[in-house]
Amino acid sequence: MIRKNTEYPLQPPRERGTGRAFVFALVMHALLGFFLYHGIQWQNSTPEGAEAELWTEVPDSAIPRPVTPPPVPVAPAPPVRDEQADIALQEKKRKQQEAAREAQLAEQQRQQKLQAQQEAEAKRQQQLAAEQAAQKAASAKQKQLQQQQAEKLRQQQLAEQKKQQQLKEQQEEQQKQAEAEAKKAEAQKAAKAKAQAEAAAQAKKLDAERRARLAQMQGMAGPPGSTGNGLGKSGTGSGSGGTAASPGYADKVCRVVRPNISWGGETEGLETVIAVRCSSTGTLLSATIAHSSGNSAWDDAALRAVQRSDPMPQDIDGKTPASFRITLRPAG
C-alpha cells in the first residue's frame, strides 16, 4: 500500500504529471508482458521425424518448373491462459510498484535530509552572522567607550591646565598686590619718616623758641641751646631724667606717650616714674617702674603706655638718649 503524503510533512511537493507517467508505465509493462506471453509458441510434444527427397539436377530448359501455390495463412491459435504466468506477472508488477515506492520514499528521505542540511546550514550561517554582528557591535561599543574615556581624560587635563593657569594668575595677582602693598608700605613709611622728620624739625624749632622764652624769663644771658635742670619738673605729663637730653625732649616724649594712656579710674594724687632704656635709634630696650604711685593698676597702665610708645622720639641731635625717666600722672 502506498503511504499517504500526510505522513511526511517535510517531503517536497510532488511534480505535476507524476501519476499520469506512472499509469502510462504500467500500461506499457502490461502490453510488453502480453506480447511476450503470446509471441512464444509453447512445445509440449516431441517433434516428428523429418523426411527428405533427393533429385538429380536437370537443366532448366528441359524440365518445366512447377508453379508453387501461395501459402495459405494459418489462423493463430487462441491464447491459452496460464495461471502461473499471471501470478508471475502480478508478482513482477507488485515488485516493480514496491521498487517505485521505495525509490520514491528514498528520494523523499534524500530531499528531506538535503532540506534539513540546508536548514541547518542556513541556521549556522545566521548564527555566524549574528555572532559577527555581536562582535562588531561589542567592538564598536568598546571603541566608543575608549573614545569617551579619552575625551573625558582630555577634558580633565584641560580643566586641570585651566585650574593651574588660574592658580598661577592668582599667585601673580597676589604677588603684584603684595608688591603694591610693599611699595605702599614703603611709601607710607617714607611719608611717616618724612612727617617725623618734619615734626622733629618743628619740635626743634618750638624747643628753641621755648628755651629762648625761658631764658628771657629767668634772666639768663645765654644762647638758645643752653639747658635748664628745672625742665624735668615742668609739665604734668612727663619729665626727663637723662643728662644727655635737651630741655624740650620731655615735651616730645609727653606728646608720644600720653595718647597711649588708657585709664578710667581715680586721678587724685597718682604719680608714677618709669625708668627707660633705649637705643640710639629710639628702640625701647627696657621700661621699669622706678617709683610707684601706690596704685598698681595705674602703675600698669603707665607702664603699658610707655611700652606702646616704642620707638621713642629722637632728640635734636637725631639720636635718642640711652636712658631717662618719665613721670606720668593721670589727666585730671
**How far, in Å, CA of 253 to CA of 285, rounded?**
16
**How far, in Å, CA of 168 to CA of 295, rounded?**
58
Give helix 249-257 / helix 83-218 axis angle, nearest 10°.
Answer: 150
Q: Residue 236: which domain range?
A: 231-328
* Per-residue pLDDT, 60: 55
238 assigned to some structural domain:
yes
3-state SS class at 310: coil
- Tens place of pLDDT for every residue, the chain, 332 residues? 445 455 555 666 666 777 788 888 889 899 888 888 776 655 555 555 556 666 655 555 555 555 566 665 555 554 545 678 888 888 888 899 999 999 999 999 999 999 999 999 999 999 999 999 999 999 899 999 999 999 999 999 999 999 999 888 988 888 888 888 888 888 888 887 777 777 777 766 776 666 655 554 443 233 333 333 332 333 333 444 444 578 888 888 888 898 888 888 887 888 899 999 999 888 889 899 999 888 888 999 999 999 888 888 888 888 888 888 888 888 76
242 assigned to some structural domain:
yes
The region that residue 254 occupies, defined by phi over 0 for left and psi between -120 and 50 for alpha, beta otherwise, is alpha
284 assigned to some structural domain:
yes
3-state SS class at 324: strand
- Nearest one of 324, 239, 243 to 278, comparing CA atoms: 324
5 assigned to some structural domain:
no
**∠ at Cα 190 (186, 191), nearest 5°?**
115
CATH number at residue 240: 3.30.1150.10
* Per-residue pLDDT, 52: 62
Q: How many domains does the chain have?
A: 1
265 assigned to some structural domain:
yes
17 assigned to some structural domain:
no
Cell of 246: 635737651
**How far, in Å, CA of 284 to CA of 312, rounded?**
7
By the 10 Å C-beta count (0-12 exposed, 13-18 middle, 19+ buried), 46 is classed as: exposed
C-alpha distances (whole Å) from 304 to each of 70, 115, 185, 187, 261 are 184, 116, 26, 29, 8
171 assigned to some structural domain:
no
309 assigned to some structural domain:
yes
Flag whether the pTM goes above 0.95: no
